[in-house]
Amino acid sequence: MKSKTEADDVFQDAFITLFQKIDQYQFKGSFEGWAKRIFVNEALEVLRKKQRQLHVAINTEIQVEDTHENNNENRSVTVSQNELLEHIQQLPDNYRMIFNLFVFEGYSHKEISEKLNMAEGTSKSLLSRAKNLLRSKINEETSKKVS
């Protein structure tokens, strides 16, 4: 989610859903895994609702980004966890959603595409763009620190 308040709302809604569906837990697999699915699905549902509003913005961002060449150097940069999380939070919603699902939640592009009703290639493209945007933000910040 974009803000802590929004994340708190989703978290609370997921807990409500969990308690409403607790009788559906069949003691197959871990409770934590079952609960995690509820929380992830709740967040995805909120993002799906937002996705309709973002559709025009997503297309515009992709077209704009396609016109720029990416000339990044290969170099190693150290960034603190807090700085990295800040940069991730600043990503556009669609990039952040795909990045989080792929990197942190461990979903495959096929699973992401099924959950979000998009082509698998779109998921791959958005992840690539998210990584490039993160890389450029980190490089920009690193350059400021060195100056």
Give me the pLDDT at residue 59, please.
Answer: 37
The tens digit of pLDDT for each residue in 69-84 reads 444 444 556 667 777 8
What is the C-alpha separation between 18 and 23, in angstroms, rounded? 9
Query: Which structural domains are found in the chain, ordered by start?
Result: 4-146 (1.10.10.10)
Count other C-beta atoms under 10 Å from residue 129's C-beta: 21
As a whole number, mean pLDDT of residues 123-139 equals 90
The tens digit of pLDDT for each residue in 37-71 reads 899 888 888 877 766 544 433 333 332 233 334 44
DSSP string, the chain: --SHHHHHHHHHHHHHHHHHTGGG--SSS-HHHHHHHHHHHHHHHHHHHHHHHHHHHHHHHHHHHHTS------------HHHHHHHHHTS-HHHHHHHIIIIIS---HHHHHHHHT--HHHHHHHHHHHHHHHHHHHHHHHHHHH-
Beta carbons within 8 Å of 106's beta carbon, 6+ residues apart: none
Query: Is-contact 116 45, C-beta < 8 A?
Result: no
Is the pLDDT at 146 greater than 70? The verdict is no
Q: How confident is the model at residue 129 (pLDDT cuts 50, 70, 90)?
A: very high
What is the C-alpha separation between 106 and 111, in angstroms, rounded? 10
Per the document, the length of the chain is 147
